[in-house]
Amino acid sequence: MHFSIPDTEEIEDSTGSSYKVFNVHVNGVLHCSVRYSQLHDLNNQFRKELKLKTLPQFPPKKLLQLNDSNLKERRVQLEKYIQEVSQDPMLSNSDIFNAFLRRAQQETRREESIPVSLNIYLLNGSKVQLNISSTDQTDDVLENTIVTIGLPEDLTYYFGLYLVRSDNQPTVIRQLQDFECPYISLKSLNDRRLYKIVIRKSYWDQCYDEIYKTDRTALNLLHSQAENDVKVGWTGCSDAAKVQLTTFNKRGSKKEFLELCQTLQNYGYI
């Protein structure tokens, strides 16, 4: 995940007072808008609860009001800070950081916690409709999905939820992270109708494909993904291999289909 703070914005509160916020983007898309004081509190929470000897350098408070040059300098410093936090596994994987970003996302989008329905798509063309809270985090939504489709609990994190743009040529935008709420992330997109949340495997090492030998649902998920990736051209496939794959599908030989796909160019690359 690439974090950036490309710009700032002036916000007016209910009393008419104005203040500056820093727009935090993830992979080029606005995730949240936060005040300096919120990031300052985050840094203090890291220091207090994680008890680390060193933390990324946080820009100090200034006594006087910031002019445009000072504000730009602070924006650059805060961007460097959050990038360094995101690159430190101890910090970026902490509940502190994930909870901070989820709260900030909810506040920025003015989302209350309400019951909602969310569709999760499988790569065989079907979907499951989940009844969740609008502020459920990604891991909760994934676990709900796994239960709904009947996959054993111990295989949950072999899979992940991905944001996919589904127009003429499907594009995997990114894997949803636990610092966000999938319902809010989807709702906040421009041209929302072009996007959907899809379940795909979350690993790159083919050795983990062995899970298909232990569970039929896992086999179905892996087969559907392999078939989809050949169809859209993400996995390179010769004409001869396509003929063989078609034969396996006609026989219902999903294991053989998957094993042949594992030998193809760029299998599992996306």
Assigned CATH topology for domain 207-261: Acyl-CoA Binding Protein (1.20.80)
CA distance 216 to 132: 26
> 29 forms bridges with which residues in the sheet?
26
115-201 folds as Ubiquitin-like (UB roll) (3.10.20)
pLDDT for 191 equals 85
Q: Please give the model's pTM, rounded to 2 decimal places.
A: 0.89
140, 204, 241 from 262: Cα distances, Å: 31, 12, 12
For residues 61 and 78, the answer to whether their CB atoms sit within 8 Å is no
3-state SS class at 3: strand
pLDDT value at position 256? 96
What are the DSSP calls for 16-52, one per residue? S-EEEEEEEEETTEEEEEE-HHHHHHHHHHIIIII--
Sign of CA dihedral 137, 111, 84, 29: positive
Q: If the chain, 270 residues long, is cut into consecutive pieces of 10 residues, what is the mean pLDDT of each piece?
A: 93 81 93 96 94 89 81 95 96 96 96 96 96 97 98 96 89 94 94 93 92 93 96 94 96 96 90
Map residue 89 onto helix, strand or coil: helix
Q: Where are the domains of the chain?
A: 3-108, 115-201, 207-261
Q: CATH top-level class for 3-108? A: alpha beta
Residue 220 host element (H or E): helix 216-231
Can you give the pLDDT at residue 19? 87
